[in-house]
């Protein structure tokens, strides 16, 4: 007779748990994440949170050692909710950061899910949309380009694959078949971002390397090629789930594609810097 891993009572022959015990456990975990996200979203007193989470643990037989993971997960969920409607406001950013320090969560706790990076990206986009150039987070990374005088790097993307489109017959677009002029910047929140994955069979891979989004140019440097594109020469910008496609003015200009897995951020970033 096996014992249920959740309640410890007999689970029956060849069984390791009662399905209702497992369901209750899973429900407890999701209630904990929701509780954390709600607390951050509503700005409720943080001092009561741990005791509420302990009550959920008790009710659903969840070990209290799960609490820290749920604080981390709930933080990411609150961020997603903040980003869902519009830009991350300063007040929302403040609540996330107060929560992080209240529960002594480190960058290493929050970043494995990508949530911390996403929060930094969201804050940078908010500034750019308002016309303020954000300062690149200090990472100690060397900038592998020679910037134009007076120019600054806004964001470095270290692992970017560069492609050009094989033919001009079909535009590699998101929802539209015509690229979107960059002259009018606009912000797409993650839920409204409609980029499709790139179709790499319609493109030629010309190298992999680092892309730099600077105040006046887009830079790329790979094993064989290094170039920069002035924003004023970019006629349109297309969103992709996993990257960005830009086209310059000119009859022979082919769409240039930068793929780094972060379409939402890089598209919003370039489109809003390029219009200024
Ligand atoms: Zn049980």
74 CA → ligand 1 middle, Å: 27
Does a structural domain hold residue 209? yes
Share of the chain above pLDDT 70, in %: 90
pLDDT level of residue 97 (50, 70, 90 thresholds) = very high
Does a structural domain hold residue 138? no
Whether 172 shows a pLDDT value over 50: the answer reads no
Element (H, E) at 258: strand 256-259
28 CA → ligand 1 middle, Å: 14
pLDDT at 250: 79
pLDDT at 176: 36
104 and 60 housed in the same domain: yes
Containing domain of residue 248, as a range? 153-274
Element (H, E) at 97: helix 90-102
119 and 171 housed in the same domain: no
* Helix 115-129, helix 67-85: angle, nearest 10: 20
Predicted TM-score of the model (pTM): 0.83
Tell which wins on pLDDT, 220 or 249: 220
Indicate the residue among 94, 129, 164 that finishes a domain: 129
196 and 105 housed in the same domain: no
pLDDT at 257: 92
Backbone conformation region of residue 207, classed left if phi is above 0, alpha if psi is from -120 to 50, else beta: left
58 CA → ligand 1 middle, Å: 14
Average pLDDT over the chain reads 87
Average pLDDT of the segment spanning 35-61: 96
pLDDT level of residue 65 (50, 70, 90 thresholds) = very high
60 CA → ligand 1 middle, Å: 11
Does a structural domain hold residue 232? yes
208 and 106 housed in the same domain: no
78 and 167 housed in the same domain: no
25 CA → ligand 1 middle, Å: 10
Share of the chain above pLDDT 90, in %: 56
pLDDT at 248: 87
Q: What is the CATH number of the domain that holds 227?
A: 2.30.29.30
DSSP 17: S
56 CA → ligand 1 middle, Å: 17
64 CA → ligand 1 middle, Å: 18
23 CA → ligand 1 middle, Å: 10
The number of folded domains in the chain is: 2
Average pLDDT of the segment spanning 26-38: 98
Spatial distance between the Cα atoms of 146 and 151, rounded to a whole number of angstroms: 10
32 CA → ligand 1 middle, Å: 20
Does a structural domain hold residue 146? no
Does a structural domain hold residue 144? no
pLDDT at 169: 47
113 and 213 housed in the same domain: no
pLDDT level of residue 229 (50, 70, 90 thresholds) = very high
Whether 30 shows a pLDDT value over 90: the answer reads yes
Whether 167 shows a pLDDT value over 70: the answer reads no
Tell which wins on pLDDT, 242 or 193: 242
Q: How many CB atoms lie within 10 A of CB 161?
A: 21
The answer for residues whose C-beta is within 8 angstroms of residue 236's C-beta and 6 or more apart is 178, 179, 180, 181, 182, 246, 247
The answer for residues whose C-beta is within 8 angstroms of residue 249's C-beta and 6 or more apart is 233, 234, 235
pLDDT level of residue 185 (50, 70, 90 thresholds) = low
8 CA → ligand 1 middle, Å: 6
What's the order of all strands across the beta sheet hosting 226-230? 180-181, 234-240, 243-248, 256-259, 153-165, 203-214, 217-222, 226-230
5 CA → ligand 1 middle, Å: 7
- Residue 218, beta-bridge partner list: 213, 229
Spatial distance between the Cα atoms of 217 and 147, rounded to a whole number of angstroms: 9
Least confident of 74-88, 115-129, 132-146: 132-146
Whether 58 shows a pLDDT value over 90: the answer reads yes
Does a structural domain hold residue 192? yes
């Amino acid at each position: 007779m096996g014992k249920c891993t959740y309640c410890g009572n007999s689970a029956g022959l060849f069984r390791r748990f009662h399905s209702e015990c497992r369901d209750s456990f899973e429900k407890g975990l999701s209630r904990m994440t929701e509780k954390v996200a709600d607390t951050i979203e509503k700005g409720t007193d943080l001092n009561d949170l741990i005791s509420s989470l302990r009550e959920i643990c008790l009710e659903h037989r969840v070990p209290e050692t799960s609490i820290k993971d749920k604080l981390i997960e709930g933080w990411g969920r609150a961020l997603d909710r903040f980003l869902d409607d519009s830009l991350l406001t300063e007040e929302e950013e403040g609540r996330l950061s107060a929560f992080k320090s209240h529960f002594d969560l480190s960058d290493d706790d929050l970043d494995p899910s990508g949530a911390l990076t996403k929060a930094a990206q969201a804050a940078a986009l908010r500034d750019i949309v308002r016309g303020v150039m954000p300062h690149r987070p200090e990472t100690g990374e060397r900038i592998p380009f020679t910037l134009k005088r007076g120019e600054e790097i806004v964001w470095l993307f270290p692992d970017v694959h560069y492609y050009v489109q094989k033919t001009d017959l079909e535009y590699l677009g998101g929802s539209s078949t015509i690229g979107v002029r960059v002259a009018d910047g606009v912000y797409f929140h993650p839920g409204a971002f409609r980029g499709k994955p790139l179709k790499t069979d319609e493109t030629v891979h010309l190298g992999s390397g680092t892309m730099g989004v600077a105040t006046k140019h887009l830079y790329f440097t790979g094993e064989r090629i290094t170039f920069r594109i002035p924003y004023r020469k970019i006629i349109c910008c297309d969103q992709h789930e996993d990257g960005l496609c830009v086209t310059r003015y000119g009859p022979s200009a082919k769409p240039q594609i930068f793929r780094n897995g972060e379409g939402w951020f890089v598209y919003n970033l370039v489109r809003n810097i390029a219009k200024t």
